[in-house]
Structure 1
Amino acid sequence: MTSVLDLAPAAPVVPVVVIEDAADAVPLARALVAGGLRAIEVTLRTPAALGAIRAVADEVPEAVVGAGTVVSAACVAAAAGAGARFLVSPGWTDALLDAMRDSGVPFLPGVSTASEVVALLERGVKDMKFFPAEAAGGVPYLRSLAGPLPQARFCPTGGISLASAASYLSLPNVPCVGGTWMLPADALATRDWKRVESLAREAAALARRDRRPGPVLRDRSR
């Protein structure tokens, strides 16, 4: 199965979006794409989330839209049905992992401990979400995992900022990070899509500047 980290576009910053109004999904996605961030995670935290994923999938073909906060088999089915091209969970169980795998949609199960990483490696999963990144140990923790578990790759999410993203991206086991800093609440409230685009462009430039050699993230939809 194609990995999420291989499906995502080249700039390794994934905006983590909470959509309150599905009507905002398309202009928001277009602003992020214009700024250079084409992989967009829409979290399943609001009633508008599935409609937002469906709208972006239908109307912004240049975006790679996925679903976050996937916590059950029902979430997996609903997200896949809405057109999500990847799935992200904050944690995992055997049942959830099986549902994500059976969906045929690339996925990132969440981990925060070495034991969870080893358990996923035993199940043949090498690409994971590290969450909550800052609270779970941040850069030093991931750096420590790279020695004994070099086969595992992570997309850390949770508390990451523009200032700290470069430190994560410098690690050999971190091809991408997830964050919300390019989506400030006041900009979303006023629908200031130009500001979102500007912040997205800043994030994309940081990724290009600070990324170290590692796996190439490709959009295989073309």
Structure 2
Amino acid sequence: MFNQCWLKLLQQQRSIAVIRAPQLELGRQMARAVAAGGMGLIEITWNSDRAPELIALLRSELPGCTIGSGTLLNLEQMQQAIASGAQFLFTPHVDPTLIRAAVDAGVPIIPGALSPTEIVTAHQAGASCVKVFPIQAVGGSRYIRSLQGPLGHIPLIPTGGVTLENAREFLLAGAIAVGLAGDLFPQKLIAAKNWEALEQQARNLIQQLATNPIN
């Protein structure tokens, strides 16, 4: 049941803001900015400053958003992320032990995979959907499209090279959603603490993905 709810949420939102914050307060402001811009799915990478504290804080401050954790490398980190309130989990790799533990905990898990073998292995192990990473290194949206024939039944979320300009191409190619990190959060804007501009970045992305609705 939680998988069905998660997939429905992805189909509604279509994009995930991926925050890797060197300071907790920066991460907090980055999250608040994209939330104000209309984004409802926010991932805090585990290598962010005080990630568990930041996740718990955002769960409290942004009740309308779904807050998850990413870059989880082992079971201990994943358990800590769940304990801090993470509502979805991203890993950069396929680990059946982590997938089973997340399924048992009732939290959607999205492992990172690249080859068709890795993608199928993750899905068969119980992954809610699969992160295809790093997507730009293997042809971008063309790679997602080429996977649709044999693997169209597996929900895919490309990351690693998704930009404001090409995000829609990935959805048209068959991805259920996209994850954006650096292109959504330019270092220049963060250094200037220009939260209004970050909010506008998010709003522009939402508008782009809402134009001519994608099936």
TM-score (ref. length: structure 2): 0.91
1:198-218 Cα distance to aligned partner (Å, 9 max, x none):
1000011111115521xxxxx
Does the 8 Å CA contact 2:135/2:158 hold for their aligned counterparts? Answer: yes
1:12-59 Cα distance to aligned partner (Å, 9 max, x none):
111110112212333322211111111001111133222211110111
Does the 8 Å CA contact 1:170/1:211 hold for their aligned counterparts? Answer: no
Structure 2, unaligned stretches of length 5 or more? none
Does the 8 Å CA contact 1:25/1:56 hold for their aligned counterparts? Answer: no
Check 1:88–1:140 CA distance in 2 against 1; reply closer, same or farther (3 A cut).
same
Q: Which has the higher contact order (CA 8 A, sep 6+)?
A: 1
Q: Is 144-153 or 4-13 further displaced after alignment?
A: 4-13
1:172-217 Cα distance to aligned partner (Å, 9 max, x none):
3x1210012221112112221101101000011111115521xxxx
5 Å matches for 1:114-129? 114-125=116-127, 127-129=129-131
Check 1:143–1:90 CA distance in 2 against 1; reply closer, same or farther (3 A cut).
same
Structure 1 moving runs of 4+ over 6 Å:
none
Does the 8 Å CA contact 2:131/2:156 hold for their aligned counterparts? Answer: yes
Q: CA deviation at 1:121?
A: 3.4
Check 1:9–1:186 CA distance in 2 against 1; reply closer, same or farther (3 A cut).
farther
Residue in 1 aligned with 2:177? 176
Question: Kindly, what percent of the aligned residue pairs are identical?
Answer: 31
Does the 8 Å CA contact 1:20/1:47 hold for their aligned counterparts? Answer: yes
Q: Is 100-109 or 174-183 further displaced after alignment?
A: 100-109
Q: Give the CA RMSD over aligned residues.
A: 1.8
Letter in 1 for 2:30: L
Residue in 1 aligned with 2:2? 2
SS of residue in 2 equivalent to 1:61 = coil
Check 1:106–1:71 CA distance in 2 against 1; reply closer, same or farther (3 A cut).
same
Residue in 1 aligned with 2:151? 149
TM-score (ref. length: structure 1): 0.88
SS of residue in 1 equivalent to 2:165 = helix
| Equivalent residues, number | 212
Within 2, Cα distance between the matches of 1:103 and 1:72?
A: 15
Letter in 2 for 1:91: H
Within 2, Cα distance between the matches of 1:61 and 1:126?
A: 23
Structure 1, unaligned stretches of length 5 or more? 214-222
Does the 8 Å CA contact 1:133/1:157 hold for their aligned counterparts? Answer: yes
